[in-house]
C-alpha cells in the first residue's frame, strides 16, 4: 500500500491536492507528521521515515519516493485515469517530465536564491536567474492556458504552487498570474484548504 507522509501547510500540501485531483485520496494511507517550522514550533517526527525527516515522502512497500516532482510523476504514472500526467508513449511525455524536473532542478532553487539576494557567475551558468525563469513560463503561458496546452496537469499544480503560496512576494507577469488563478480555482485546492 502507498503511504504518504504529510504535514499540513507545507510543501506536501501540493501532493495532498494531487491525490484529490486524481480521486485516489482513499487509496493512499496518509500519515500526518510534524516537521520543524520556521517559527520554532514543531519538530522532527520519529514516525516519518524520510531520511531527513522532511515532507512530502511516499512509501510503496519497501520502496520510497522523495522530492515532489518524483512523487507527482510516481502518482500520475500509477493513477493515469484522471489524465493529469503523460504516460510512457504519450506524445507529451517529454514535455511533462521536463516541466516537473525544471521545477525541482531549476525554478525552486532560482526562486530561493533570488529571494535571498544571492548571485554568483556559477549560479547564473547553472540555473540562469529569476527573470529567465519568468521568461520561460511566460513564453508558454502567454500562448496557452496551461503548461502542456489546453488541459491542466500535475506539472501546473507543481509549478504554480509557489506563486499561490508566496503571492506578490514572487513577481510574475500577467499571463503567469492568470495561470496561477486558474490553477487555484479547482475543487481539490478548495477541499484541501478547508481541511
Residues in contact with ligand GSH by CB under 6 A are 10-11, 35-36, 53-56, 67-68
CB of 149 to ligand GSH, least distance (A): 25
CB of 63 to ligand GSH, least distance (A): 17
Measured between alpha carbons, how far is 123 from 3 in angstroms, rounded to an integer?
36
Query: Looking at beta carbons only, is 67 or 129 nearer to ligand GSH?
Result: 67
Cα 121 from chain centroid (whole Å):
27
CB of 42 to ligand GSH, least distance (A): 8
Closest CA to 186 of 56, 69, 82, 108: 82
Q: At what angle do helices 154-166 and 12-22 cross, to 10 degrees?
A: 140
Query: Looking at beta carbons only, is 10 or 114 nearer to ligand GSH?
Result: 10
Q: Which residues pair with 70 in a beta bridge?
A: none
Query: Looking at beta carbons only, is 68 or 86 nearer to ligand GSH?
Result: 68
532560482: which residue's cell?
Answer: 110
CB of 106 to ligand GSH, least distance (A): 13
Other C-beta atoms closer than 10 Å to the C-beta of 49 total 14
Q: How far is CA 191 from CA 49, 113, 141, 159, in A?
A: 27, 32, 26, 20
Cell reading at 92 = 507529451
Query: Looking at beta carbons only, is 54 or 86 nearer to ligand GSH?
Result: 54
Query: Looking at beta carbons only, is 49 or 53 nearer to ligand GSH?
Result: 53
Cell reading at 34 = 510534524
Measured between alpha carbons, how far is 109 from 41 in angstroms, rounded to an integer?
25
Cis peptide before 166 (omega within 30 of 0): no
Query: Looking at beta carbons only, is 99 or 175 nearer to ligand GSH?
Result: 99
CB of 75 to ligand GSH, least distance (A): 13
CB of 41 to ligand GSH, least distance (A): 12
Amino acid at each position: 500500500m502507498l503511504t504518504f507522509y504529510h504535514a499540513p501547510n507545507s510543501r506536501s500540501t501540493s501532493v495532498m491536492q494531487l491525490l484529490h485531483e486524481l480521486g485516489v485520496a482513499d487509496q493512499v494511507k496518509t500519515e500526518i507528521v510534524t516537521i520543524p517550522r520556521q517559527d520554532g514550533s514543531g519538530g522532527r517526527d520519529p514516525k516519518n521515515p524520510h531520511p531527513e525527516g522532511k515532507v512530502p515522502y511516499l512509501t510503496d512497500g519497501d520502496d520510497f519516493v522523495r522530492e515532489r516532482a518524483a512523487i507527482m510523476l510516481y502518482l500520475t504514472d500509477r493513477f493515469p485515469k484522471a489524465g493529469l500526467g503523460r504516460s510512457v508513449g504519450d506524445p507529451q511525455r517529454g514535455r511533462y517530465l521536463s516541466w516537473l524536473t525544471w521545477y525541482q532542478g531549476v525554478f525552486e532553487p532560482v526562486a530561493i536564491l533570488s529571494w535571498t539576494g544571492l548571485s554568483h557567475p556559477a549560479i547564473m551558468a547553472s540555473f540562469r536567474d529569476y527573470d529567465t525563469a519568468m521568461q520561460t513560463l511566460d513564453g508558454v503561458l502567454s500562448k496557452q492556458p496551461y503548461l502542456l496546452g489546453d488541459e491542466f496537469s500535475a506539472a501546473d499544480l507543481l509549478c504554480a504552487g509557489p506563486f499561490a503560496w508566496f503571492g506578490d512576494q514572487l513577481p510574475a507577469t500577467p499571463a503567469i498570474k492568470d495561470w496561477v488563478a486558474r490553477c487555484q480555482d479547482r475543487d481539490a485546492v478548495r477541499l484541501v484548504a478547508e481541511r
